[in-house]
Structures are given as C-alpha cells and as structure tokens.
Amino acid sequence: MRSAIKKYNTNYKKKVDVHRDGYLPRLAPKENIQCGGCGAFYHRRRWTLTAPMGIAIRVHTHPIFCPACEKIKQHAACGELHLSGVGKAERGEVLRVLRNEEERAREKNPLGRIMRIEADGEHWKVETTTEKLAQRLGRSLHKARGGRVSYKWSHNNKFVRVIWRNESQPEVRAK
C-alpha cells in the first residue's frame, strides 16, 4: 500500500524582496564618493545630501553618478503620477505642492527625485526615480487639493502608477 503524500506546488507563491535595484552598486566602494550630477555623497553605504565629517571638497575627479542621476539620464522611471483636472488657475499651486513634497522626501532619501513633468492641457504626467516618491506625491496632492487618488502597482511592486483626479474641477464634455 502506498502512502498518500500530498505534494503542493509552491511556484505560485510570491517571493519577497527578490528584485534588487540594478542602479545600486553591488559592492560598496571603499572610499567616499560625490555624485557629479547632484552633489550627493556616498558614505558608509548610504547616499546623503550633507558631506561626511571632515570632507569639504569634491571627493572624486572622474564623473561618478548616483543611482538617481543614472535613472534620469537613461529615462528609467520607477513611478508615474498622472494628474487630471488641473485647471490653469491652479497649475502654480499644484507645481508648488509637488516640488515642496519632493524637497521634503529628499531629506529622507536623496535618491527620490522628480525626473520629468509633462503637461498636456489639464492632464499631467510626473515621472519619479522611486516608487515611494510617486506614492508620496499623490498622497500630498490628495491632502492639499482633495480629489480622488488611486494606486496601481506592477507585478513585482517595483513600479507604481498613481492616478489623481481633481473632483472640484467640472469636466468639460465635447458635443
């Protein structure tokens, strides 16, 4: 008589943290590095905006760029924020909200930046270097201007599309 051993297929299970950002260095450099694009410093396996203690001049003479500057050069966005219903009167305010939130986010993570803002009438597309920044920008717009925000994550959670709709702006329908 055979024993009834039930085998389970575990291929469907999601593997957590298998994706690694390809723009981050695999091995930590032995010396301090300063980004040639934005001026951020790499010290003790972290990117910071402030210089490490005792360093006041440029650290490297040949151009080395941080992962955020590399993503900007290669147009490799990790997050998108789609804005709809932005009227002409509120464009300046929405842009200020986005830039202020980016500045606050860079204090915590200097690799999170807005790559590009494309405006096409009332519809905007904002590309970011990190998925967390796109999520944060959508949340700050929702808090400041109201409206509806929705998040759509990719399969491996390394790309997010945030959609914000302004509910106070009446939509114009074509006849």
Residue spans in the chain of domains classed CATH 3.30.70: 77-165
Contact 134, 114 (CB under 8 A): no
Contact 103, 58 (CB under 8 A): no
The class (CATH top level) of 77-165 is alpha beta
- What is the pLDDT tens value at each position of the chain, 175 positions in all? 566 776 666 665 555 555 567 777 777 777 788 888 888 888 888 888 888 887 666 655 567 888 999 999 999 999 999 999 888 888 899 999 999 999 999 999 999 999 999 998 889 999 999 999 999 999 999 999 888 999 998 876 688 999 999 887 555 544 4
Q: How many CB atoms neighbour CB 128 within 10 A?
A: 28
> Residue 133: which of 79, 96, 56 has the closest Cα?
79
